[in-house]
Amino acid sequence: MIINTGMRTDIPAFYSNWLLNRIKEGFVYVRNPYYKHQVTKYSLNPNVVDCLAFCTKNPHPLISHLSELDKYKQFWFVTITPYGKDIEPNVPDKKHLA
């Protein structure tokens, strides 16, 4: 199973602590956005998860915790745009991403 963390919000940028807590607990509940009463529980056991996929504009909040994710294969897709703080106020300057 592939856990894609970036379809609805930028988990690494805004919810790193929440993700790390979910990994420690070993599961996550996900609500279906179209059927609010449908909630699915997914195991985060490394024996079940083939890969954690991260889609983010700011990987920095999760980078210092990579050792806690070592037991998972990971795919990172980091989007870099030409926009400034006037359009994306919460995205770090591109010069500091390296």
So where are the chain's domains?
Answer: 2-91
CA–CA distance, 33 with 46 (Å, rounded to integer): 26
pLDDT of residue 98 exceeding 70: no
pLDDT of residue 91 exceeding 80: yes
Average pLDDT over residues 6-11: 86
Tens digits of per-residue pLDDT, 33-43?
999 999 999 99
Q: Output the average pLDDT for the chain.
A: 91
For 5, the token pair is 């963390």
How distant, in Å, are the alpha carbons of 21, 29, 62, 83 from that of 65?
A: 12, 22, 5, 28
Tens digits of per-residue pLDDT, 14-73?
999 999 999 999 999 999 999 999 999 999 999 999 999 999 999 999 998 999 999 999
pLDDT of residue 97 exceeding 80: no
CA–CA distance, 20 with 94 (Å, rounded to integer): 26
